[in-house]
Structure 1
Amino acid sequence: MFTEVRTFNDPQKHAGSILGWQQIYDQLGRGCLSSELKQVSADRFQIFQEVLDKRIVQHGCAPKGRFCIAMSLGSGNAPVVQGHQVGAHSVVLLRDGEEFVLHAPEGTHFFAVNVDTVRFAKLAALELSNDQLIRLKRVPQINVDDAVLLRVQQRIHPLFRHLLEQKGAISAASEKMLEDTLHNALLDLFSNASDEVRCRRSNFAVSAYLVKRCQELADASGDTPLSILDLCEQLRVSRRTLQNSFQAVTGTRPVEYLRNLRLNAVRRRLITTHAAEINVGEIAVEMGFFHLSHFAAHYRALFGESPSDTLRAT
């Protein structure tokens, strides 16, 4: 069993440290990041908790062979996952390598658990109704009332703290008992889910879709950044609609959001390459920044350091 408590000042190092997750964290909030990760990972389950002091957009794939739940413990702005806001009573579901996009506002505090998909499916089939099983397999979130959510948290959180405090390996029998505790808590959660969050074409869902499509189009454009008019033309929406959509989902203007994604791509490239291999200016141009003084100013404003001060690979 692997246990760890770490702090980070780089979003991608934080993202890459969560075992089993293939994901990228792009920093959108300005200044030097300060984040914390606590995790416990075993062969058949994982628990982790992360706190982020800057706005981040996370995208990637959940672990294969795992059924994942996550809940927000923060009290600020609601995160957005798969186009839906995560409220105080919401539990997010990800299944077996599912792709995801998470817009995490400043101060996000997420708590997540995943277990073996096959075993949980067998246990759920014995206990849940047909309607509950359909919900388990299809919906992006469920809603749970305060009493149920508190009961589940009271089962898992003390277990999590205990594991983090353990020194050395635990026995296979103890690990099995811990896994069973998690399965019992999840079955309780789904047995008492009060309703489901349906994938309605609400205004917010449309906004989240437009943000996602803009990011896909920007990624496909290579080193030629798309203008806002280009995006409006391709998506057949007005500038106001695009502006309002980005503000609702990401908290930033579309120009700033897409530029920040490219700045994060520059930073990842800097961190993973040698200075002798490629210089800062060449990387910036590859990512569509042709005015290097403007690039340096935007980079410094976002990450709290100059691109020349970012630690390169050795």
Structure 2
Amino acid sequence: MGQLLLVDSRKLDGFEGLHQAVHGSHVDVMQLGRGRLRGSLSHVGIGDFSLSIGTFSVGMRTQRVSSDDKLIIGMLLAAEERVTHWSFDMRLNDVLVIPPLLEHDGIFHGASAYAAMRFDINEVASLFGGEARLSNPETWRRRDHFRADPDSGAIAAHRLVRIMSHLRTYRSGLTPSTADFWKRSIVECMAANVMSSLPPDDTGWLPSARRLIRRVEEYLDEAGTRPVHVSEICAALGVSRRTLHRAFQEVFGLGPVSFLRHKRLCAVHSILHESVPGSTTVAAVAMQQGFYELGRFSQYYHAMFGERPSQTLGGRTVSRLRVQPSGCEL
């Protein structure tokens, strides 16, 4: 009897779709760039093993809490602008390791594409067989970054996309042997970049900027939903406005004032996106998030998301493909 091959493929119409950026793992997301987010997200599941490939058209901030007990290994497939994960500056086809039960923080400054595989860390001994270092689970228990060789990295990324494309149209159940073959084929693409990796150059001010940003976000979490002024943050943390501005520019490419406004706009978008028309009003939600000049709020909102707040509250029909266990899409 064939093993189930689970396939899910959909178009993205809003940043909320990226909450499932990695199959089986919830990701918190915040839109940083301006414009209506467009993109796609595809998942392939082979038993407990999964491969996800996503694309999106505007800058995003992604965070994942330390509740996932699986190993995630990702590859950057495309990026129009800077991409950072923790304090690692990513280049095309670089590989990122997110160990089990570890918080993750990534920033995409523009349109990007990624691939991520997720599986039990105890499987590395069999999936990476033949490479002593890679088949040792301890190798993958710390966050890491592998700099891809330009030539071999491009080949590995191309193969990974081809494999996903093939499996998305695969119409037969997988036998245990074919399931193992496809898992190994996916893993090999990531492993090729790890084995040929170049030493990363992660010097610079980014790590200390990250630490300051973490302190700011902890302060914002304690403040709850009330609006917080930049001067309050500077006074509470004992930093100058100039230092704070430099840190936010280094990490996000935005000043702290713009970042706080983006954060509140994303909160409004999510509330409106999930609300039933008639259950609330745009004005009420905007006021809750600290927007008191509704005319200016509407301008900010339209510039950020490419639509009016009332359109978000009115609801959008997002077409999703129905999926059969065989992977046949209807």
What is the TM-score normalised by the length of structure 2? 0.82
CA contact (8 A) 1:11 1:26 kept: yes
The counterpart of 1:53, out of the listed 49, 57, 65, is: 57
- Equivalent residue for 2:208? 206
Residues 205 and 154 (structure 1), Cα distance of their counterparts in 2 relative to 1, 3 Å cut: same
CA contact (8 A) 1:124 1:133 kept: no
Q: After the TM superposition, which segments of 4 or more aligned residues of structure 1 sit over 6 Å from their partners?
A: none
- Equivalent residue for 2:322? none
| C-alpha deviation, 1:41, in angstroms | 2.1
- Equivalent residue for 1:258? 260
CA deviations 1:37-78 (Å, max 9, x no partner) are: 232123222222222211111112488342211122225322
The counterpart of 2:35, out of the listed 31, 37, 46, is: 31
- Equivalent residue for 1:173? 177
CA deviations 1:198-236 (Å, max 9, x no partner) are: 7x7x41111122233323322332232211111222222
Aligned-partner Cα distance in 1 for 2:127–2:267: 42
The counterpart of 1:136, out of the listed 132, 137, 140, is: 140
CA contact (8 A) 2:98 2:143 kept: no
CA contact (8 A) 2:22 2:118 kept: no
Higher mean alpha-carbon deviation, 32-41 vs 116-125, is at 116-125
CA RMSD of aligned residues (A): 3.0
| C-alpha deviation, 1:5, in angstroms | 3.2
Higher mean alpha-carbon deviation, 140-149 vs 245-254, is at 140-149
What is the TM-score normalised by the length of structure 1? 0.86
Aligned-partner Cα distance in 2 for 1:312–1:220: 32
Residues 249 and 231 (structure 1), Cα distance of their counterparts in 2 relative to 1, 3 Å cut: same
Aligned-partner Cα distance in 1 for 2:201–2:176: 38
Residues 75 and 268 (structure 1), Cα distance of their counterparts in 2 relative to 1, 3 Å cut: closer
Q: Is residue 283 of structure 1 aligned with residue 291 of structure 2?
A: no
Question: Following superposition of structure 1 onto structure 2, how do residues 226-265 of structure 1 map, counting pairs within 5 Å?
Answer: 226-265=228-267
Letter matched to residue 156 of structure 1: L
Question: Larger relative contact order (C-alpha < 8 A, sep ≥ 6)?
Answer: 2
Structure with the larger helix share: 1
Aligned-partner Cα distance in 2 for 1:88–1:183: 18
| C-alpha deviation, 1:104, in angstroms | 0.9
Aligned-partner Cα distance in 2 for 1:120–1:133: 6
- 3-state SS of 1:305 partner: coil
Higher mean alpha-carbon deviation, 137-146 vs 28-37, is at 137-146
Question: Following superposition of structure 1 onto structure 2, how do residues 1-314 of structure 1 map, counting pairs within 5 Å?
Answer: 1-16=5-20, 18-61=22-65, 64-88=68-92, 90-121=94-125, 127-129=131-133, 135-150=139-154, 152-153=156-157, 155-167=159-171, 169-195=173-199, 202-312=204-314
CA contact (8 A) 2:93 2:153 kept: yes
CA contact (8 A) 2:74 2:114 kept: yes
CA contact (8 A) 2:146 2:193 kept: no
Residues 210 and 298 (structure 1), Cα distance of their counterparts in 2 relative to 1, 3 Å cut: same
